[in-house]
Amino acid sequence: MRVTHRAALLSAVVAALVLPALPAAAAIAPLPETVLKVKSIEWQPRTGNVAVTARVKCSGEGTFRWAATVDQRDAQARNSSNVPCDDDGYLSTLILDPRDGRFHPGAAQFTLEQYIENDHAGIGSATLKFIRITPR
């Protein structure tokens, strides 16, 4: 899932809303550009956990955090990770370990979130979809 264009659009909207309220001399730095693309969602049968691996990248000044949640019957887990804004892309893996119960093959609800901010503005977005956890 590529969200660079959505983040740039939301950055422009936030800047348009905030700019009129600031003195004319104040300069607004754009939000960092980000890439968040899920590569895999894998069930780990030994532990009952789910591993979510995504390609992430952040360029510019600010911070970028991504999070994933899986909700299935009586098991739910969420985890997040900060991504340095150093213009280096890499694969990042979140292990979702439900505190009560464990995940099983079958239908589940998956939520992918991202939070982008700098000193002047910030945005967050979430994408919800239904997935099927499959055994290897």
Q: Residue 112 above 60 pLDDT?
A: yes
| Residue-range domains of the chain with CATH | 4-133 (2.60.40.10)
Q: Which pTM was predicted?
A: 0.78
The confidence score (pLDDT) of residue 125 equals: 93
Looking at every residue in the chain, the average pLDDT score rounds to 84
> Of the given ranges (26-35, 74-83, 124-133), which has the lowest mean pLDDT?
26-35
Close Cβ partners of 111 (under 8 Å, ≥ 6 residues apart): 68, 69, 70, 71, 126, 127, 128
pLDDT in tens, 46-69: 999 999 999 999 999 999 999 999
More confident of the two residues 79 and 120: 79
Residue type, 21: A
Which of helix, strand or coil describes residue 110? strand
The CA-based angle 78-81-83, given to 5 degrees, is 155
Q: Residue 80 above 60 pLDDT?
A: yes
The mean pLDDT of 37-53, rounded to a whole number, is: 96
Task: Indicate the pLDDT class of residue 122, thresholds 50, 70 and 90.
Answer: very high
The confidence score (pLDDT) of residue 22 equals: 47
Rounded Cα distance between 28 and 38, Å, is 31
Percent of the chain whose predicted confidence (pLDDT) is above 70:
79
